[in-house]
Amino acid sequence: SAVISQKPSRDICQRGTSLTIQCQVDSQVTMMFWYRQQPGQSLTLIATANQGSEATYESGFVIDKFPISRPNLTFSTLTVSNMSPEDSSIYLCSADASGSHSGANVLTFGAGSRLTVL
């Protein structure tokens, strides 16, 4: 299965600033996904990033707040813009590791980026 490197692993940010999270996959993948996970809660999909096209955002998430880049098949970034304390969360990138189990699209995740906004 794919290996995903994600950075930063954690950061403390000031209100109103922006932070970019990077995600590198060790193999080419078609789709990459960005999730948010708040303590004790389920994973929430922010957007799906496809190479060569604009990201597809889920309800409640907009491009101005969470711009995403996907310049090639192994790399993606998520920017959290104009941060507020409500953006404090763990952000996870993942990739579709299809083929590892018949019929299943198994996701491989990065280790996550824990952001604290003061």
Partner 1 sequence: GQNIDQPTEMTATEGAIVQINCTYQTSGFNGLFWYQQHAGEAPTFLSYNVLDGLEEKGRFSSFLSRSKGYSYLLLKELQMKDSASYLCAVKDSNYQLIWGAGTKLIIKP
Tell whether residue 73 is a contact of partner 1 (CB under 8 A): no
Among the listed residues 39, 20, 40, the one whose alpha carbon sits nearest the alpha carbon of residue 93: 20
Please select the residue that binds partner 1; options are 74, 89, 108, 113, rule is CB under 8 A.
108
Residue 25: exposed, middle, or buried by beta-carbon count in 10 A (0-12, 13-18, 19+)?
A: buried
110 binds partner 1 (CB under 8 A): yes
Residue 79 and residue 71 in contact, taking contact as beta carbons nearer than 8 Å:
no
Decide if residue 61 touches partner 1 (CB under 8 A). no
Instruction: Establish if 27 lies at the interface with partner 1 (CB under 8 A).
Output: no
* Binding status of residue 40 toward partner 1 by CB under 8 A: yes
